Chain A
Amino acid sequence: MSLEVKDVLVVRGSFSLEADFSLQRGKVLVLLGPSGCGKTTLLRAIAGLEPIQRGEIILDGARIDTLPTEKRHIGFVFQDLALFEQMRVRDNIGYSLKVRHEDKKQIQEKTTFLARRFKIEHLLNRYPSELSGGERQRVAFARALASDPALMLLDEPLSALDAPLRREMRRFIRLQLAEGHLTAIHVTHDVEEAVDLADEIIVMREGTMVGRGTIEQLEQRPGSGWLARFMNLGLVLPVTKIVAGEASNTLEVETSAGMVTSVPRRAGLETPSLSKGKLCLYVPLVAADIRESHRGRGIQARIIRKVRSASNVDKLVLVIAGIENYYFEFPLGDRRTDIYQEGEDVEISIKADLCQLLPEEPSVFGGAGRRASE
């Protein structure tokens, strides 16, 4: 095990953050969540830049939460990169080696090696202000990696880049992390970025960890309607009524979309009750299909936008009858795209046996709450 964050509590004014997870060596963990959920705070706490009120942080078997930042042996790439503007690129990259009193020759060799690896060799004598956005990113990565850290912490380093460069840098980071067998935690609020980079994802909300796993695990068991909607894992419909089904292992569920369906009871779980809070019906993407509206038993929806991307990943943006302020993005996959027009009514059919009843609000590690090591 490379990193263990045990029962950590961080309090900052009225905001509190609780975290408990572990991460295997060489894996990339992505902390995903909306702005203000505590992703950066958690990253800073691991780095020692934010004091923790409780808990332990263990890196490669040694407890580090009692150490000052400079002794934790981590690499940190900041959101605004925090390059030393008064130093040349060469001195930026070699800084961590210099403070560790490495000899000059070694510093030079390592700096040149990293510069070559990051394709910034020609920039070594420039100042950061003379670099482009992508070049600055590379310098920041090279600088963080120079002292061979045991853990890389990346705090939304791509957020300031435009879309094409962002994609390019995402590939580049993934490649570097994989090549170096680096253990890393990457923070983002972009689901696409998270899916692209992560071996595992932790979803955070309001200072708690509300979901954990690979993208497949999260798709199978999102744990809450909020998480499924946030990651667009499938269709999420508010439940208005639940009664026991004719078969003992099913429940009859009525949703705001007006549809009634039989959903299988999950083994080991007690019968969900509306009195305990809002529930929703989660329809994974694999359980949903779309067809022309016949006013049948399917979910009635209207196409408000047909999105065609250059990479031919087409999707429809749908509004669901009876549900306000919900825009469901339905990927068309291999389906024919020419038969769907904007403004047209369609019907979504669902495979009830794949649907799940979920609480609307997430609980800590609601559905996928298991340690990565397990």
Chain B
Amino acid sequence: MSPRGPEEPDRTDTLQVHVDALGVGRCLLTAVGSLDLHTAPKFSDALQPLLRDGNQSVLVDLSEIAFIDSTGLTSLIAAYRTTRATGARLALIAPSERVRRMLAVTGTDQVLPSYATVNAVPD
């Protein structure tokens, strides 16, 4: 890993994350951009605290994730593991084709449910 040159952009900017409350005990995290080696820490920093409350349902909108790599998948698996420890609920909303392919190839889709819309997620 070479040190970042002065002209090289901060690559964590390639992912935007924001969280909206959807009422009591339910929130929506929307991630837009690239979920990869450079941005996965930023994603996990936003997602993991939401999962520590076992009564929380956390919906993660991945419809605008254009690129995901193995480090990005690792952050999703880590989130799933946190829910197993805390009892929080985690659901993915409309994962992009690229994300869906990676979840299916690895079998992660068997443990992380996906829904077409926020409203399709059962209470």
Chains A and B belong together in one complex: no
Q: A-side interface residues toward B, CB under 8 Å?
A: none
